[in-house]
Structure 1
């Protein structure tokens, strides 16, 4: 079956699938799980509502048949799900899947990095928004120290996993950490990707005044050493890639607010309970779990996915205004995955 595309104006092949396997986290960060909403008494999804590993694998097989080449497991915190290496091993056997990664806060990597690598995981994307303990705790909503994340990063590299560090930059909260983070990652040889503060979900208090733009971030990091632009690795890559001159260490900028990339987005998202979303800023998803559990054939599932993807008209980042950001009822990132 050929890869579905939309109209010529927004021709976007389906090639990247983000699968949320857990709707909870061991952090409650201000970015996606604010403590005002996700307090200790918050009710998360019961286990029977989560897609099983067998259902996740079957769904991934159908996406692969439609052209998906990259899978990233997300959450919440995906490593809170038991036996994740078992799922990784199943996904690595799917024809057409060329890249499997996992997004994590890294706290559980000292124990899990080696079995994840042995199961076939290729890399981890680690969320780390500050090196300063006070700023880190303000961003994460927990008393955990950044050393716990740094230990997880070390464990991942020692196990053989590739590591990319993601830093969400919020003006007036952690933007003073941009240079320390860049220096640390440069010294460690880690790729650091700065992410503009986005209005995901309904609860992170976003407004444009808190956005530190890609242009400003580039100027700040250039104080360490000059940067040179790199070509994209593939169509639809969301990060603008650079490296320090005379170095192999990369820096990336994900600029969903100031330099949008809706027209080249090739990414679908599957929530932990089996809802398919065609945009990070979606208001609603389509229920794949029910279709699967009602006995749909593989061919029927592929037809269903194709029909949804071919009708997508997502251009939220291109059309965003502060007014629309306040009134659109977007799904929380802890549910849809990063």
Structure 2
């Protein structure tokens, strides 16, 4: 990494999340709500998506900033054609140590092996219920759990480490906390519970929909005792626990009740090239325009330094204090989670 880039950053930048497509085969109630993403919703045309060449060019620049982790998201990233080619090219970038894909797992049956062979390190699987009736409600398409479990099995067979992410929303799927913990306890997969985050234009968190971290941990601990673990690295967002009997690990991401803005080391890139420094930002920085206006690598680097060193966003903390939020809602499927 070029020393002058690292010296000017201040807060580390280690993790870049890239949305490669804004489309999905599910319509999850919190990610792609039906009232917005109806049958006539116009997704981005192909020429507005960042090309693989453009993505690689940006990855190379971000690697100079110290980015080591790339997570490919969506929408459903496995709907992007030739995703294995993109992974193979990212794998060749100096400095990139970890490549992950966040997926709902349905397409992993066909793609897990070739993604692993291309250089994928792991998969993060979004799964909000293990029982069919609840799962069908959460995915918005009436899809049963079996295709997802087959995809998870395909990932295991391919040798891909798995993290399963469950967003817990009161009134929707809190009944699935224990069933999910029981199911994944002895599988070798890491299960992570995420407090429901209302991404939108409100003056404070709507706690009516939040199941707090403490309640999640207490519920599991009562049946399957837990022992807290140290963080794996600076900026890790999940509080980690292992089962007392030594079988399995879980994590809880508590961005509502225990904000972690001050240690955030990640940035997000939308499918059309907008850079966001916070999940709750109202607007991004147009890197696609920079790329298509023939900015030099030095010009893009200086622009990114100005963005990252000038950031003051701490939306989770501000919302917890009841401060007014900016308008213009950014949908989860657009920013990539």
In structure 2, what is the Cα distance between the partners aligned to 1:320 and 1:201? 11
Q: CA deviation at 1:303?
A: 1.1
* TM-score w.r.t. length of structure 2: 0.95
Deviation per CA, 1:6-63: give whole Å up to 9, x if none: 6xxxx52111100000001000101110111111110000100000011001101100
2:57 corresponding residue in structure 1: 58
- Aligned residues of 1:133 and 1:145 also touching (Cα < 8 A): yes
- Return the offset for 1:245: 1.5
Does the CA contact (< 8 Å) of 2:275 and 2:287 recur in 1? Answer: yes
- Contact kept in structure 2, 1:236 and 1:265, CA below 8 Å: yes
The corresponding residue for 2:124 is 125
**Secondary structure in structure 1 of the residue aligned to 2:23:** coil
1:246 deviates by 3.1
CA–CA distance in 1 between the matches of 2:199 and 2:61?
A: 28
1:146 corresponds to which residue?
145
Tell which deviates more after alignment, 130-139 or 175-184: 130-139
Q: CA deviation at 1:143?
A: 1.4
The answer to whether the 8 A contact 2:71-2:101 is kept is: yes
TM-score norm. by structure 1 comes to: 0.95
Structure 1 residues 120, 22: CA separation in 2 closer, same or farther (over 3 Å shift)? same
Deviation at 1:199, TM superposition (A): 1.2
Mapped to 1, the partners of 2:286 and 2:30 lie a distance apart of: 26
Distance in 1 (CA, whole Å) between partners of 2:300 and 2:173 is 43
Q: Hey, what does 2:6 align to over in structure 1?
A: 3
Task: Give the structure 1 partner of residue 184 of structure 2.
Answer: 185
Tell me the secondary structure at the aligned position of residue 294 of structure 2. Answer: coil
1:77 to 1:324, Cα distance in 2 relative to 1, 3 A: farther
How many residue pairs match? The answer is 332
Deviation, 1:326, is: 7.7
- Once the two structures are superposed, residues 195-233 of structure 1 have per-residue CA deviations (whole angstroms, 9 ceiling, x without a partner) of 000012469xx7211100000000011123211111111
Q: 2:70 aligns to what?
A: 71
1:117-153 Cα offsets, whole Å, 9 max, x none, are 0000011000000012121111110111111111110
Structure 1 stretch displaced more, 175-184 or 142-151: 142-151
| Per-residue Cα deviation, 1:280-306 (whole angstroms, up to 9, x for no partner) | 000000000010111111111111111
1:238, 1:254 within 8 Å by CA — same for their partners in 2? yes
For 1:31 and 1:189, the matched residues in 2 are separated by 28
What's the counterpart of residue 220 of structure 1? 219
Unaligned stretches of 5+ residues in structure 2: none
Which residues in structure 2 correspond to 1:201-216 (within 5 Å)? 201=200, 207-216=206-215
Give unmatched runs, 5+ long, in structure 1.
none
The match for 1:308 is 307
Q: 1:247-266 deviations in whole A, cap 9, x for unaligned?
A: 15110000000001000000
CA contact (8 A) 2:256 2:320 kept: no
- The whole-number CA distance in structure 2 between the counterparts of 1:30 and 1:325 is 25
Over aligned residue pairs, what C-alpha RMSD do you find?
Answer: 1.7
Which residue number in structure 1 is paired with residue 42 of structure 2? 43
CA contact (8 A) 2:282 2:326 kept: no
Distance in structure 2 (CA, Å) of the matches to 1:202 and 1:72: 26
Query: Which 4+ runs in 1 deviate beyond 2 A?
Result: 1-6, 321-330
Report the 3-state secondary structure (helix = DSSP H, G, I; strand = E; otherwise coil) of the residue aligned with 1:222. Answer: helix
Task: Report the equivalent of 1:111.
Answer: 110
Distance 1:134 1:327 in 2: 37
Describe the shift of the 1:133–1:257 C-alpha distance in structure 2 as closer, same or farther (beyond 3 A).
same
Aligned to 1:157: 156
For residues 164 and 220 of structure 1, what CA distance do their matches in structure 2 show? Answer: 21
Q: How big is the shift at 1:309?
A: 0.4
Q: Distance in 2 between matches of 1:208 and 1:5?
A: 38
| Cα distance in 1, alignment partners of residues 291 and 325 from structure 2 | 35
Q: Quick check: 1:32–1:201 contact (8 Å CA) kept in 2?
A: no
Distance in 2, Cα, partners of 1:86 & 1:144: 29
Q: 2:195·2:256 contact (CA, 8 Å) conserved in 1?
A: yes
